């Protein structure tokens, strides 16, 4: 059974991992080393494209790691990837006990718990797993389902409209909501929009205005423009701030297949009710984040162009969060089963 010191250390490891931000396509991990008295020796988080959390903590601890307890949010890896196995690092450093929140669902990297036990280390799993689970939900979905997790974001008036009849849509929501969007964008590794939305709004499709988020400084998500229409090279989506990929297709399954090949785990979908409708109709939206402004248009474009013809086509959404952001309301939910065939 985990001690109070270890439980407290797990929450600290989780906080450190959250502060680090996205490490996609790899999971975000936090690790805390404790001495025999339960006092913290060192801590580390996975560095995007670099060392894993365990190695960071072990490096900081040096010889003090011998006989220590490693408290880590995800099962230490047991394979050779861009870095060596964390299992070997823990064993080589003389760590005596490892406390793990979640096991690794990736068959390539899994097996660390058993490898540690074979090496003679004491291992306990499942500690605060429910609290840690949201940290890598999208990554876990991607590695187990074989396609990226898709978050669809939209902004709308109280009457459900996202653009005026003349096509103008900036800005329906206030600056607080727009800042909030950037925080969520930073958790993804691809931002997807249709050619129509790009031509109409000339968006940057980047993470910005979030200097306190490490991911915004270290790496921008891949910008993905979906559709066959040519986008002029002077549009901001082709600037040097982030890489851009144009996928000449409007088939959501084809788009996601292309992104799987590029190790994309979490797609942020926005910019165009037609493209959003295609993903929605295909059952390929896994989370909805809607920002509702306290205003009315009366006419204009709906946030979603679906294929529903009757109330029998209603698709329920399980609301998981309802928060006021400035003058606007943010609603986060998980769509229920789609009535149509889903992407396999």
- pLDDT, tens digit, 9 for 90 and up, residues 73-123: 999 988 666 667 899 999 999 999 999 999 999 877 678 899 999 999 999
Structure-token match 């979906």, residue found = 226
* 70 strand-pairing partners: 33, 98
Known catalytic residues are 54
DSSP 8-state code for residue 202: -
Which residues have C-beta within 8 Å of that of residue 2, sequence separation ≥ 6?
10, 99, 124, 127
Q: What is the pLDDT of residue 82?
A: 65
With a cut of 60, say whether residue 341 has pLDDT above it: no
Which burial class, exposed, middle or buried, applies to 120 when counting CB atoms under 10 A from its CB (0-12, 13-18, 19+)? exposed
Looking at every residue in the chain, the average pLDDT score rounds to 88
Residue 272 labelled as part of a binding site: yes
Q: Decide if 162 contacts 172 (C-beta within 8 A).
A: yes
Which residues have C-beta within 8 Å of that of residue 246, sequence separation ≥ 6?
195, 224, 225, 226, 227, 231
Residue 177 labelled as part of a binding site: no
pLDDT digits (tens, 9 = 90+) for 21-50: 888 898 999 999 999 999 999 999 998 878
Nearest-angstrom CA–CA distance, 54 and 71: 9
With a cut of 60, say whether residue 143 has pLDDT above it: yes
pLDDT digits (tens, 9 = 90+) for 161-220: 887 777 666 788 999 999 999 989 989 999 999 988 888 888 889 888 766 555 444 678
Q: Is residue 64 helix, strand or coil?
A: helix
Work out the average pLDDT over 280-307.
88
Residue 217 labelled as part of a binding site: no
ω before 43 within 30° of 0 (cis)? no
Instruction: Tell me, letter by letter, the H, E, C secondary structure of 102-140.
Output: ECCCCCCCCCHHHHHHHCCCEEECCCCHHHHHHHHHHHH
How many other CB atoms are there within 10 angstroms of residue 134's CB atom?
Answer: 12
Q: Which CATH superfamily is domain 146-335 in?
A: Dihydrofolate Reductase, subunit A (3.40.430.10)
Q: Is residue 77 helix, strand or coil?
A: coil
Q: What is the pLDDT of residue 168?
A: 67
Q: Which CATH class is domain 4-136?
A: alpha beta
* All structural domains of the chain with their residue ranges: 4-136, 146-335
Residue 205 labelled as part of a binding site: yes
Residue 274 labelled as part of a binding site: yes
| pTM metric for this prediction | 0.86
Rounded (5°) CA angle 42-47-53? 40
């Amino acid at each position: 059974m985990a001690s109070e010191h270890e439980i407290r250390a797990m929450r600290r490891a989780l906080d450190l991992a959250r502060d680090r931000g996205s490490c996609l396509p790899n999971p975000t991990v936090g690790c805390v080393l404790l001495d025999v008295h339960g006092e913290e020796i060192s801590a580390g988080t996975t560095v995007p494209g670099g060392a894993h959390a365990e190695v960071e903590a072990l490096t900081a601890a040096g010889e003090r790691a011998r006989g220590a307890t490693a408290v880590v949010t995800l099962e230490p890896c047991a394979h050779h990837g861009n870095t060596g196995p964390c299992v070997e690092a823990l064993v080589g450093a003389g760590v005596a006990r490892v406390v793990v929140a979640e096991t690794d669902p990736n068959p390539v990297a899994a097996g660390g718990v058993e490898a540690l036990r074979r090496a003679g280390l004491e291992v306990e799993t499942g500690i605060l797993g429910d609290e840690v689970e949201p940290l890598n939900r999208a990554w876990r979905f991607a590695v187990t389902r074989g396609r990226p997790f898709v978050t669809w974001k939209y902004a709308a008036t109280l009457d459900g409209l996202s653009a005026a009849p003349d096509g103008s849509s900036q800005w329906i929501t206030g600056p607080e909501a727009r800042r909030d969007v950037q925080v969520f964008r930073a958790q993804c590794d691809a931002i997807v929009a249709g050619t129509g939305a790009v031509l109409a709004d000339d968006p940057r499709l980047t993470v910005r205005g979030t200097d306190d988020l490490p991911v915004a400084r270290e790496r921008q998500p891949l910008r993905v423009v979906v559709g066959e229409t040519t986008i002029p090279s002077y549009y901001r989506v082709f600037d040097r701030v982030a890489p851009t990929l144009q996928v000449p297709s409007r088939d959501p399954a084809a788009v996601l297949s292309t992104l799987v090949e590029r190790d994309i785990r979490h797609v942020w979908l926005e910019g165009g009710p037609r493209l959003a409708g295609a993903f929605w109709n295909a059952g390929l939206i896994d989370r909805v984040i809607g920002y509702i402004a306290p205003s009315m248009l009366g006419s204009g474009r709906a946030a979603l162009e679906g294929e529903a013809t009757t109330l029998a086509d209603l698709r329920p959404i399980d609301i998981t969060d309802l928060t006021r952001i400035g003058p606007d309301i943010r609603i986060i939910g998980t769509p229920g089963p789609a009535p149509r065939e889903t992407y396999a």
